[in-house]
Amino acid sequence: MFRTALKFILYDKAKSIGVVVGIVISIFLIGQQVGTLTFLMRLMGGLVDNSNKVLGHIWVVDNITNNANELTKLDESLVREIRSIRGVENTYPVVVASAMVKFPNGKSSPVVLVGSEAPTFVAGPKKEKIMSGKLMDLAEDGAVSGDYFDQGTFDNSLDIGKRLEINGKEAFIRLQTRDARGFAGSFFYTTLSKARFYGNFPDNKVSAVAVQVKPGQSISAVAKEINQTFYGVRAWKTEDLQSETIRFITISSNIGTSVGSLVLFAIISGFFIISLTLFSSTLDHLRDYGTLKAIGATNAYVRNLILMQSFIFAIAGYVIALILIFLFKWAVTGAGLIIQYSILELFVLFVITVFISVGGSLVFSIRKINNVEPASVFRG
């Protein structure tokens, strides 16, 4: 059957190419949109995602906060008080402050200072995202980090040793990260004291408290006890705060709706374009299918023959689209658009491809073939 299906495909090359091109365009657009959305979602939860989750199992923030990019000020006494909770190993203050950076050429831009205590640096950056320098270099006087991909945003280099001003105070790049970024703005990581100094942040306030849970203790149970003990704050499991931040921004900014509608449109348009192209091809081969029935082929055989052609189209279209998607991924990496695809996402793309191709043949082509009479091939 595979050989016969291939002969039908090769016989009408124009329509076959049209079907494959339709699949490629639809799947490429879907893959592109999903990849971009995944990248943006990673930025949305960047503040939490770039933190040291080995030490910060729980983040304690204001009780009305469900977006880690909009933290309010908390009393620093909470850092010590939370240590009294059963199951808590240690607590770490985190300061997140807005600031204005100015470069030697006069250009300026808003940034987000992220400060935590050395040597743990519980707020980040992750060691695997350090491109140049060492984490402890941030403990030096005037030391802050800069991200490699933010150089285009600032139109200035962020190489180690770069001098700049933060809120009118001299600072130096001592650590360069790669893709340690966030949705709210460019992150400059530093120590707790320097984040307060540069960000004009009160000494008796913090933005969040990272909590390390003792080994063997339930993180959920510790978070629940913190919530029951302290008024006006909420303890989140780190992963839950990251997920809630992504959910909140995706819904409130309509990014999810926008990307979702584009993906849905690509699926629907691809489905009907391919359906009609396959139907047109079926009409061209109507006498051929009738001949097959006349020499003994059953409706099931003819249906399977058409489905086999559709599946071949799906495989060919998916492979080509996948190549284009990964070429796109490679091309935009240099610009800082770091797109990653999971095995699950690639599998879902394959399922959508099969749905578009095989489902398209079921809607029109197979229904038409079922009504073809073998005797019709002998009529003039």
Domain ranges in the chain?
2-43+254-378, 64-231
Residue 376: pLDDT over 60: no
Residue 120: pLDDT over 90: yes
Residue 372: pLDDT over 60: no
Please tell me the predicted confidence (pLDDT) of residue 277: 77
Q: Count H helices, E strands: the chain?
A: 13, 12
Please tell me the predicted confidence (pLDDT) of residue 307: 81
Contacting residues for 72 by C-beta, under 8 A, at least 6 apart: 61, 62, 64, 65, 207
Integer distance in angstroms from the first to the last C-alpha of the chain?
A: 29
Give the H/E segment covering residue 303: helix 299-333
Percentage of the chain beyond pLDDT 70 is 89
Mean pLDDT in the chain?
A: 87
Average pLDDT for 67-85: 94
Neighbours of 1 (CB within 10 A): 11
Q: Which candidate, 206, 219, 249, places its Cα nearest to that of 68?
A: 249
Residue 364: pLDDT over 80: no
Peptide bond into 104 cis (omega under 30): no
Judge contact between 189 and 145, C-beta under 8 A.
Answer: yes
Please tell me the predicted confidence (pLDDT) of residue 247: 92
Q: Which candidate, 199, 207, 196, 166, places its Cα nearest to that of 51?
A: 207
Per-residue pLDDT tens digits for 272-302: 887 777 777 777 666 666 666 667 667 677 7
In whole angstroms, give the CA distance from residue 310 to residue 375: 26
Please tell me the predicted confidence (pLDDT) of residue 147: 94
Residue 362: pLDDT over 70: no
In whole angstroms, give the CA distance from residue 297 to residue 294: 7
Neighbours of 170 (CB within 10 A): 11
Q: Which candidate, 199, 44, 187, places its Cα nearest to that of 111?
A: 187
Please tell me the predicted confidence (pLDDT) of residue 266: 84
Per-residue pLDDT tens digits for 146-172: 999 998 888 889 999 999 999 999 999
Distance of CA 67 to the CA centre of its chain: 17
Please tell me the predicted confidence (pLDDT) of residue 258: 83
Please tell me the predicted confidence (pLDDT) of residue 373: 57
Give 3-35 as a 3 state SS string: HHHHHHHHHCHHHHHHHHHHHHHHHHHHHHHHH
